[in-house]
Amino acid sequence: MQRRMKRVAARRGQVALSTAAVVCVITATVLPRAAWAGPADGTDRAGADATRVERVSVAADGTQANDDSAQVSITPAGDRITFSSYANNLTPGNTGRNDRVFVRDLATGQNQQFGGPATAPPMLSSDGQVLAYLAPRFDHMALYQNHLSLGWSSSYTCSLNSCEASMGASERQQAFSVSFRYPEQNQRVEVRRPDTGELQTVDIIHNTASIRPSLSGDGTRLAYQDGGEQDILLWDWADNNVTYPVEGPDRAAELVQLSDDGNKIVYLSGADTYVHDIASGTALQVPGVRGVAIDPTGRYLLHTPSGTTGPAPLTLRDLQTGTDETVTDRPATAEIDSVSAGGRQVVFRSTAEDLVPDDTNGKADIFLRTLR
């Protein structure tokens, strides 16, 4: 079934919409608890009281991971995180040294282990019930999904070469998007309709650069980029519009993330970060910083100094008040979906050995900073 797409402020490229069907399998193992850790004096490096740091890439008894951990994200409610790790001592009986995906319930300390190796940061649905990650499958790439409490699993082969994915919605809606080459000189983004399970396809003609799809929590809005033209595009299921470029006609941009509520788009341009408000069509310029992630409400921006491409200090900015709060002043990395709603928690990866006591493994660990 073909559907027409309305265009708004169309400038570059071609986009076509169609619908398709998708068959979307993995296994899970329950991991034991892990312990809290924090600064001995109960303060962070900026001197703020009631601030906690937890190293979350540890075994049930607090044993340190014996290999590097990476690529972490947190749910909007801040109740679960997912990360990948090469460590083989995070769960009993795991003697291999392959990259695996872990989900941790922060309230109970229970961990679940899944397959891998993940080729991109693993993702959790907005309600934390469904895990998704990209991993090789024979000579293909596949998107794997697993329901954490019901136990069902699925997989979807998406490309011979490479693919990107994003996830939103709840366990009942199970919305997700996948982009991949179709054919080799083009890209295709597939979005599952939250209420009916219908799959719509957005074909992006003559573009082979990264699309970096970012889906809203209800699965009805998708932000992505035309890497060839350096434009940021927004697709809306409600009126079947593709609006572009959101950054204006004369600015090259790189997409960071669409907020979980679907109202803000974060993108980079030059040495600055911009937060585009979809309702008003205006953008807030945040000069001299490199945006990394935005919280689900679109109010709190996680950023590093402009020009950084590797580990660097992390800062959380309240976009309403313009105030900054230090997450860590040690070199660290973070991904999209690394800030919980209201900027309460931030998850990140660091090799720093003085963020928590007794960090002696010499490996990159996953940390949770609680700010409020």
pLDDT band at 48 (very low <50, low <70, confident <90, very high): very low
Q: Is 97 exposed, middle or buried (0-12, 13-18, 19+ CB in 10 A)?
A: exposed
Residue span of the structural domain in which 49 resides: 6-370
* 128-137, 170-179, 347-356: range with lowest mean pLDDT: 170-179
Q: What is the pLDDT of residue 32?
A: 29
pLDDT at 71 over 50: yes
Span 50-64, pLDDT tens digits: 358 989 888 777 788
Q: How many folded domains does the chain comprise?
A: 1
- Report the alpha-carbon distance of residue 179 to residue 163 in Å, rounded: 5
115: domain CATH number is 2.130.10.10
Residue 178 lies in a domain: yes
Q: What is the pLDDT of residue 33?
A: 28
Q: Are 197 and 218 in contact (CB under 8 A)?
A: no
End-to-end CA distance of the chain: 49
pLDDT at 129 over 90: no
Residue 106 lies in a domain: yes
Q: Are 15 and 189 in contact (CB under 8 A)?
A: no
Q: DSSP of 224-277, one letter per residue?
A: EEETTTTEEEEEETTTTEEE--TT-TT---EEEEE-TTSSEEEEEETTEEEEEE
Residue 1 lies in a domain: no
Residue type, 41: D
Residue type, 125: S
Residue type, 188: R
Please give the average per-residue pLDDT across 265-283, as a whole number: 95
Question: Pick the residue with more confidence: 226 or 343?
Answer: 343
Please give the average per-residue pLDDT across 358-364, as a whole number: 93
pLDDT at 105 over 50: yes
Residue 223 lies in a domain: yes
Please give the average per-residue pLDDT across 258-278, as a whole number: 95
Residue 51 lies in a domain: yes
Q: Which residues pair with 223 in a beta bridge?
A: 214, 234
Q: What is the pLDDT of residue 45?
A: 35
What number of other Cβ atoms are within 10 A of residue 73's Cβ?
21
Residue 273 lies in a domain: yes
Q: What is the pLDDT of residue 179?
A: 63
How are strands ordered across the β-sheet holding 199-204? 15-20, 199-204, 187-192, 176-181, 163-167
Q: What is the DSSP letter of 355?
A: S
Residue 164 lies in a domain: yes
Residue 245 lies in a domain: yes
Please give the average per-residue pLDDT across 336-345, as a whole number: 96
CA 48 vs. chain centroid, Å, equals: 28
Q: Is 235 exposed, middle or buried (0-12, 13-18, 19+ CB in 10 A)?
A: buried
What number of other Cβ atoms are within 10 A of residue 83's Cβ?
26
In the three-class reduction of DSSP (H, G, I as helix; E, B as strand; rest coil), residue 25 is classed as coil
Span 7-20, pLDDT tens digits: 333 333 333 333 33
Q: Tell me the average pLDDT of the chain.
A: 78
pLDDT band at 120 (very low <50, low <70, confident <90, very high): confident
pLDDT at 194 over 70: no
